Structure 1
Amino acid sequence: MKSNKILNILITLIAVVGGILFIRIFMEDAEALKTDVDLGNNVISPLIYYSTWLFYATVIVAIVLSLWSMFRNPENLKKTLAGLGVLAVLLVVAYFLSDTAAVYDANGLKVLEGGEEGSSTNKWVGTGIWYSVILGGIASLFFVWDLLKGLVKS
């Protein structure tokens, strides 16, 4: 019960600070914000920095709590490591399916900057595309499988 109160106080403080920073923007003239760089930096930058650091803190807390939960329950750790292993194997398959062909502009006349043949960027972009296709195909198979199971049960 005490941790709930602490969490509620923390959430309230975060919301109040964000609200104050947000209200400060609306207190200024919109045209002045567009033309006066110093005013924009003094009013908008604090909200952006606050949001960025809040995002970083949220990501760190989520990762730490997830890892803590996994290490406290070895069965979940085994499942997670097995899942990561499968994803790694699929990434290797996608890497070998991708190519390093040159990337041309929309007219097909000029090779785009950074898209030269043999470029590692091309290889990793191709890997990302193939990885998405493979994972999408697997997800589609599971979707159809679940749909068929639902139809058979009915």
Structure 2
Amino acid sequence: MLHKILRIVALVISLAGIIFLGRIIAEGDDEIKAAALAGDTAIVDPLAIVAYIILGLVLLFVVVFVVKNLFTNTSGLKNTLIGIGAFAAVLIISYVISVGPDESFAKGLYKYGDTMASESESKVVGGGLIAFYILIVIAAISMIFSGVKKTISK
């Protein structure tokens, strides 16, 4: 029963998307750009709403099925919690070792628009970059290790 309902919902959303896309194509690029410059986005808004609905449904289903699978597979729950803890540890370590801007950089390097970035904003961005670098190194090492292990086992 749920499968039939989901198919009908998918069909309705798909048809709405096709209709709104047809309206956009029929209107033409130049008219849409001119209307957008004037502040009128009424022709594009319905398609964007359909896209947001689809994104929300996909995220909802992913979260529901992941949580359902975690609680039905308790060994997977342990591994997932270990992974989440390791990721949180990387984020915390990255934030702690990141530094805010010193006076030489604060003269305009950390500006967005007319507003200067605060020290905490700079520290969060720095922590995010450090976490990104750490995770890249971990991913590269794990790929190399996996490739070497596969080669040795053959």
Asked if TM exceeds 0.5, the reply is yes
Hey, what's the Cα distance between the residues in 2 that align with 1:36 and 1:142? Answer: 51
| Structure 1: gaps of 5 or more residues | none
* Aligned position for 2:8: 9
Write the mapping of 1:100-111 to structure 2, written as runs, cut at 5 A. 100-102=100-102, 104=105, 110-111=108-109
> Is the contact made by 1:100 and 1:122 (CA closer than 8 Å) also made in structure 2?
yes
- CA shift, 1:14, in A, is 2.0
TM-score (norm 1): 0.80
TM-score (norm 2): 0.80
> Is the contact made by 1:32 and 1:39 (CA closer than 8 Å) also made in structure 2?
no
Q: Which amino acid aligns with 1:45?
A: D
- CA shift, 1:56, in A, is 1.8
Counterparts in 2 of 1:5 and 1:98: CA distance versus 1, 3 Å: same
Write the mapping of 1:10-29 to structure 2, written as runs, cut at 5 A. 10-29=9-28
Write the mapping of 1:73-84 to structure 2, written as runs, cut at 5 A. 73-84=73-84
Hey, what's the Cα distance between the residues in 2 that align with 1:149 and 1:36? Answer: 59
Name the SS for the 2:43 alignment partner.
helix
- CA shift, 1:31, in A, is 3.0
* Aligned position for 1:112: 110
Aligned length: 148
Write the mapping of 1:80-99 to structure 2, written as runs, cut at 5 A. 80-99=80-99
Alpha-carbon displacement from aligned partner over 1:80-122 (angstroms, at most 9, x marks no partner): 11111111112121122211124749xxx64433345xx0011
Q: Which amino acid aligns with 1:25?
A: I
Counterparts in 2 of 1:71 and 1:150: CA distance versus 1, 3 Å: closer
Name the SS for the 1:43 alignment partner.
coil
The higher-RCO structure (CA 8 Å, 6+ apart) is 2
Hey, what's the Cα distance between the residues in 2 that align with 1:75 and 1:151? Answer: 28
RMSD across aligned positions (CA): 2.5
Counterparts in 2 of 1:97 and 1:59: CA distance versus 1, 3 Å: same
Counterparts in 2 of 1:40 and 1:101: CA distance versus 1, 3 Å: closer
